[in-house]
Structure 1
């Protein structure tokens, strides 16, 4: 078995879809002299790094990555409930499927899903599963005041599980007034969004209802590993906290996957203690500024076994154990 890494957390968006879904809260993405801007905000990303497959493959070769799963950047999620985004998400999925097909097994694809209507999303998921090219879907952790335990997101997760598709949960860096400076919408907001989704999937009974669900919370689960003891104490002490699940949060935490993008070996050690080594996946967050640029060195110095990482990556993405080509 190859010791090349399997990166489950990387982003790609073709230039023709830089306009983003209708009513995107962030405004369109633009190329200015080879640099990406989101509205008027610089992203500190070269345009080719986000949109050019050759650049992505070149980065994989340098980084020791054998397979990379691509998903849309989070600001391309179709979160507006008032404007159907089927045309946009279908266009993204068609483009992604072509990229995956042409990659000779180097790339896997996580589809974009419309989030305005549960039935429409289920129809998309059925079509994706029947086509067999893309291995899963990517979704935000929070949506219109709810998380994975309610509404469209719970329906999407249930449908993905039914059709044996992986689910990658990626935060959107939603703005709040108290996070307007120092990049706090990312540095604090992203971990909080992700922890909200982990808690909701545990306490809301999602992981209990769907034992075959393959779901990954990126950025090491955000601040969820640090809060697991608090959740467990509350679940044991308060009837309202345990009303949605019959299993302890510590037990259900081990039903999910988490990536390695923690930027800290101590944080990764805590995650491994709570989740178990077979639930840790290699991630980079390519090509963002918060990406782990030398992921091979990071996982090696953290003491992670590359064979275990690869096996977990194959399990999550549904890749055949004898190859690096999607099953």
Structure 2
């Protein structure tokens, strides 16, 4: 089984990139904290390769695709040194894994030029399949700005793109972990809407893009989006096909925490668009990713084949 959604960050990068909205990561009595927010995980779970391998063995995961945790995304301004350090460390970990790991690197998001340079370097790195990016950046998403440029370059270079929310804070979500419980699904659905209604997939037919956490709110909103697309010219002005058709050309992971929601996702996007994910090592992870996925009727071999397709592997 291939797990496309798992996180890793070397301990010497726990300070996070300049301008990070939460940081830094700190070890407080054996528990990682993101700023003042407890993460309910040990530092080794985030940084220690042996801990990751042990979890893989226990979960029946043969290949794990590692990406940075979203709070390490360079969204606060220029961070070329941090991005380069992470990508170099990731390439080394993948190279030493005997095939157990694949990597999704970071991309500099400060400008289109810096993004292009980072992506070109990643395209030449062995074992690096693509990049992980946030769904929103500076009030924009994938239909314009730097994020749209990243998608175009990734498609041109044959790099896969994993979309992971950042649980950005809002005043009305300052309690009960709502930036995660509500914010993550909303951020994610915002990005999917930008992709589908913005005509991005039509413009980039070769783009390989996976949305984690089952697409967030997307499965429950597709019917509404289709209705809006059929009835309102402003909704369909940038796209030629209804969202419910285009969505089948993306991939979505299985981290939904709800068998009924995973079944709805599979119905809406098709079994060929679903890949196994875990969200390791967070407390919001799917503890038994393979068991959860197969319990809803998904086939392990098909999930692995879908993951290889997303990664651009034969």
1:17 aligns with 2:26: no
1:158 aligns with 2:152: yes
CA–CA separation in structure 2 for the residues paired with 1:199 and 1:31: 37
1:39 aligns with 2:35: yes
Counterpart of 2:209 in structure 1 is: 215
CA–CA separation in structure 2 for the residues paired with 1:266 and 1:40: 34
1:189 aligns with 2:191: no
Query: Secondary structure of the equivalent of 1:65?
Result: coil
What do the CA deviations read for 1:22-65 (whole angstroms, capped 9, x no partner)? 01111211112321111122110111000000100110011000
1:57 aligns with 2:57: no
Shift of 1:240: 0.8
CA–CA separation in structure 1 for the residues paired with 2:14 and 2:193: 33
Shift of 1:181: 1.0
Query: Secondary structure of the equivalent of 2:99?
Result: coil
CA–CA separation in structure 1 for the residues paired with 2:222 and 2:293: 23
CA–CA separation in structure 2 for the residues paired with 1:222 and 1:230: 15
What is the TM-score of this pair, normalised by structure 1?
Answer: 0.95
Query: Secondary structure of the equivalent of 1:174?
Result: coil
Unaligned 5+ runs, structure 1 = 322-327
Counterpart of 1:138 in structure 2 is: 132
What do the CA deviations read for 1:154-177 (whole angstroms, capped 9, x no partner)? 000110111011000000001111
Counterpart of 1:147 in structure 2 is: 141
Q: How does 1:236-315 map to 2 (within 5 A)?
A: 236-315=230-309
Is residue 164–residue 212 contact of structure 2 (8 Å, CA) maintained in 1? yes
What is the TM-score of this pair, normalised by structure 2?
Answer: 0.98
Counterpart of 1:324 in structure 2 is: none
CA–CA separation in structure 2 for the residues paired with 1:272 and 1:40: 37
Shift of 1:119: 1.1
Shift of 1:185: 0.8
Unaligned 5+ runs, structure 2 = none
What do the CA deviations read for 1:280-310 (whole angstroms, capped 9, x no partner)? 0000000001000011221121111001001
Shift of 1:248: 1.2
Aligned Cα root-mean-square deviation (Å)? 0.8
What do the CA deviations read for 1:155-205 (whole angstroms, capped 9, x no partner)? 001101110110000000011111111111111100000000000000011
CA–CA separation in structure 1 for the residues paired with 2:63 and 2:178: 31
What do the CA deviations read for 1:194-217 (whole angstroms, capped 9, x no partner)? 000000000011111111111011
CA–CA separation in structure 2 for the residues paired with 1:32 and 1:182: 21
CA–CA separation in structure 1 for the residues paired with 2:267 and 2:123: 34
User: Which of 23, 26, 48 is residue 30 of structure 1 equivalent to?
Assistant: 26
